[in-house]
Structure 1
Amino acid sequence: MSCETRAPNLLFIMTDQQRFDALSCHNGVARTPNLDALAAQGADLRKHYSQAPVCVPSRCTIFSGRYPHSTNVLENFVRYPSGEDHLFSILKEAGYHLSYFGKNHLLEDDEFRANLNVFETFSEHSDDSQRKAYQELEERSLQRLESIGSYASSEYHDFPDMATTSGLIATSVATAIRVAPHDRPWSITASFYDPHVPHLAPKRFEKEYPPKDIQIPINPNENLKDKAPRVALKQEAQGALRASLQEKRLYSSVYYSMCSYVDELIGDIIEELGKREDAENTIIVFLSDHGDFNWDHGLCKKDLLLYESLLHVPCIISWPGKIPPQVVDKTFTEHADIVPTLLELASIPRPPTIQGKSMVPLLEQQTASHRKSTHAEVCYPDMRNPFSTYPEFIDALNDAKKNGDPLGQSTSFNIPGDYTKSIRTEDWTYIWYGNGYEELYDANNDPKEERNLASEPTEETRLLCQKLRLELFDWFLHTAPVARKSVPSKTRNSSNSWIHP
């Protein structure tokens, strides 16, 4: 079968914790020439949103086309239920040769192996001296998160690419592209760990992002009284209040450097793809699972909060000759839409479990409208943070560690989460917390979400919150679970419901 008549190949590239403005084509600080070029040749979806602010729920939505409350994956300690439809099982059924390299945080390993021809996470300890030394650097970096603060893992290094996890992923993906079959369609996934912690970047990038020149967002403390109490609590848990300006700048400097490093490796991957005769019959998808605060709201990393910094992410879909180059910035798209879009592009029937909406009419410029709103959620219905102060949490954590309780698996910066849902429209962001708190932000005039209008008891804001709350719950009720398996009891009970690895 010629590559012209065969089903399209799929090159799926995903980063971890890369916010929307961490691309230079999105007017960001990070320089990403290869992703900029990919965006210029494909569809640059500039109003693309994640359905969760942490890895596993987000990835389960990306690869299933189902919302977190439908997959029953609403926190990081769960994996997608085995035996239920996901992109890889569907492509396997369609005859694809499947390879996956990098971070999992999606399926149980056995489920991956049952559906993929090649699966490698690069998480094992290595005997190679340089790789081993780099892994030891990663471990020391992560230890600083616990002992110093959530911002403190940032560091530059002189290790060669093949010692780094990102370098190994990129090299393996390039090799997989070279040896991919020519007589059947293939799917190769590059799941980079960067720019997630540990925050480590090659030293050659330091000169591109001198820490002394990095601008840090100003977050007036007086705004905290209007926000959910979790924000102030999380600032204390992260150690963000004691982080110096120099330490904050180093965090951002290394973060941008990691984005540029991954971009460099993505360039190598795309160059390798270009050597194949079926390159133009290959769909390329680039996206990130969720974003990073990068000091918005006075926070770094991520958290169980549904703010713009964590939910607005880059997404690029390229298929030369089939998807016209375009900037899509007038309508929302979201992670749940990825699988139905790819299946339609590949002419593969979609399972009835899929809840997302195909973007093909949008990508083919048959319409300029796709979604008027987008939704997100995190944590299970029974989850409430029982701690009103940070010392109270630390005391409980220390007691749990002494007694061998599951809470002892938590860390000093992972405050228990609250059942939370949100809706983002053209004009408003509304966030509902299971503990009764609400937040409302003017998306056009307050993009940094600094003024919580829900805390201002006017009739206008009360009616607006009521309207958005009804829209939010209407979405929730109309996307009830279509396939579900209960979470194993060993990972869910009242004593460890706040574990967030």
Structure 2
Amino acid sequence: MANRPDIIIVMTDEERAVPPYESAEVLAWRQRSLTGRRWFDEHGISFTRHYTGSLACVPSRPTIFTGQYPDLHGVTQTDGIGKRFDDSRLRWLRAGEVPTLGNWFRAAGYDTHYDGKWHISHADLEDPATGAPLATNDNEGVVDSAAVRRYLDADPLGPYGFSGWVGPEPHGAGLANSGFRRDPLVADRVVAWLTERYARRRAGDTAAMRPFLLVASFVNPHDIVLFPAWVWRSPLKPSPLDPPHVPAAPTADEDLSTKPAAQVAYREAYYSGYGLTRMVSRNYARNAQRYRDLYYRLHAEVDGPIDRVRRAVTEGGSEDAMLVRTSDHGDLLGAHGGLHQKWFNLYDEATRVPFVIARIGEKATQPRTVSAPTSHVDLVPTLLSAAGVDVDVVAAALAESFSEVHPLPGRDLMPVVDGASADEGRAIYLMTRDNVLEGDTGASLLSRQLGRIVNPPAPLRIKVPAHVAANFEGLVVRVDDTDAAGGAGHLWKLVRTFDDPATWTEPGVRHLPPTAWAATPIAPIHWTTSGSSTT
């Protein structure tokens, strides 16, 4: 196993990096309560300007695990609010096209294991009795061992280079699939897998001596998406883990009239995804403090599972291992004029995420922070380098089975991990085209729960953001005065948003802004085809 460390990726979902405006009381609570994360900060290299490659869950995860952007891997939309898994607008990552990290490592001789949230392909098995996804636990967290065995035998992630996945996807409104229930079960299985692996190594099992790539992919704090339901009946009870009251973001009351029209359109349409717009909007407004506090409490809920997996590695048997902690994307939490979740924007709350690399063994890392911009597309080349993989040789082997094997656009960060200076002048790219509210049926979550999927009644129909597109792309880059007046050597995020002719007021012909009525006849100046912004 010389120069071939075990590699463990610990992921959360919807966890943003610590925002610069977080209060002293909340920061103190983090240090006191999030001890699982604190270990990474105290033992690893923390990349404090790390950005997701795309938004939201489904586009982001293949970007992380293929090291390629959506324009290559083809995944741009997320299922959930507006779309079922089989929606005509939704394209999952297809087997045999772009290799994943699992494919790369398996081809390089590693064992590869994945447990927890996947959300890259539709991997659920079907329950023959109901036609619904095959459940492996109930609302109380009681495990169905026979269903677990069916997933293990089916090995649905095999074409993507991983084994060990147990579904169904922890996704949707059901309590059984919430992070509150599923994250402890994922930790149980991962710790059991590690314990057995290390025991076999100690017994001299040569197969167990092979290095492994392990992904433990947790859900929380993603349960914040369930807030409209949990505001009425939450499974979380008061606890010493509760954070102090979390203040609103300084931009909570920001005027969006000078921002891309897509953002105000999304803000007004968002609530309709859940059901009755006025009721859902009122719940967010009246319970804003509970909403923000819940998001942080969910950080604490998943911290225990994170720490259990970490301890199983560092105290259980790996003599040479690299641990990575990150998240697929963040959450706006009411910032920027009352925006929620992570769509129709590239603001830092949605796009900047934790990224920490810690190494144990003879080459143990010394803790430090790196402020240069980095990206999720850096993960694949960095870990291939850490494992000593000859990228050209393995790429040639993968090209025999995959149609889209291309040079990786990300950077190898191992020199930085080993102590070299980071490239402060580097520019990183990020993008999103995810319109989560748009789907084949237009049925809101409440409408679907009531069985009104086809032609839902108007009050229960999703109000898709009108005459705007979800196209945002940006660069995070340091700008000097010699590059642009006022750059001042600061790090800037330059964002462009652009229309889709299909969303114009006269599709494919022209788009009239709200002020067009003032001109009679309508002047050509009112024919707009694109917009741009800097955020």
Give distance in 2, aligned partners of 1:178 and 1:220.
46
Distance 1:314 1:124 in 2: 21
* Match of residue 344 from structure 2: 304
1:112 to 149, 157, 177: 157
Aligned equivalents of 1:435, 1:136: Cα separation in 2: 35
Q: CA deviation at 1:229?
A: 1.6
Counterparts of 1:225 and 1:359 in 2: how far apart (Å)? Answer: 40
The correspondence for 2:314, drawn from 274, 285, 301, is 274
- Cα distance in 2 between the residues matched to 1:202 and 1:283: 35
The CA RMSD over aligned residues, in Å, is 4.0
Deviations 1:374-421 (A, max 9, x none): 2111128xx8999xxxxxx999x99xx989489x9x973764742221
Deviation at 1:243, TM superposition (A): 4.1
* Count of residue correspondences: 396
Correspondence 1:36-435 to 2 at 5 A: 36-76=38-78, 77-83=90-96, 84-109=98-123, 112-114=157-159, 115-123=161-169, 136-137=174-175, 164-180=181-197, 182=201, 183-196=209-222, 197-198=225-226, 203=236, 206-209=239-242, 213-219=245-251, 221=253, 223-239=255-271, 242-243=282-283, 246-277=286-317, 279-297=318-336, 298-320=338-360, 321-322=362-363, 324-350=365-391, 351=395, 352-369=406-423, 372-379=426-433, 404=454, 412=462, 415=465, 417-426=469-478, 427-435=491-499
Contact 1:98 1:188 in 2 (8 A): yes
Over 6 Å off, 4+ runs: 22-26, 383-386
Cα distance in 2 between the residues matched to 1:295 and 1:268: 32
Q: For the pair shown, which has the larger CA radius of gyration, 1 or 2?
A: 2
**For residue 49 of structure 1, what is the amino acid of its counterpart?**
Y
Equivalent residue number for residue 11 of structure 1: 8
Structure 1, unaligned runs of 5 or more: 126-133, 142-160, 387-392, 438-464, 470-501
CA displacement, residues 100-128 of structure 1 (integer Å, 9 cap, x when unaligned) = 11111113537612332311134499xxx
Q: What TM-score do the two structures reach when normalised by structure 2?
A: 0.65
Structure 1 counterpart of 2:94, one-letter code: P
Letter in 2 for 1:190: A
Contact preservation (8 Å) 2:472, 2:498 = yes
TM-score, normalised relative to structure 1: 0.69
Structure 1 residue 230, shift from structure 2 partner: 2.2
Task: Name stretches of at least 5 consecutive residues in structure 2 with no aligned partner.
Answer: 79-89, 124-154, 202-208, 272-279, 396-405, 479-490, 502-530
Closer, same or farther in 2 for the Cα pair 1:349/1:295, shift >3 Å? same
Equivalent pair of 2:47/2:371 in contact (CA under 8 Å): no
Q: Would the aligned equivalents of 2:118 and 2:169 in 1 still touch at CA under 8 Å?
A: no
Q: Give the C-alpha shift of residue 295 in structure 1.
A: 1.4
**Aligned letter for 2:157?**
F
Native 8 Å contact 1:102 1:122 kept in 2: no
Deviations 1:163-206 (A, max 9, x none): 81111011111111112263111122111111113357874664
Question: Structure 1 pair 270/252, CA: closer, same or farther in 2 (3 Å)?
Answer: same
Alignment partner of 1:164: what SS? helix
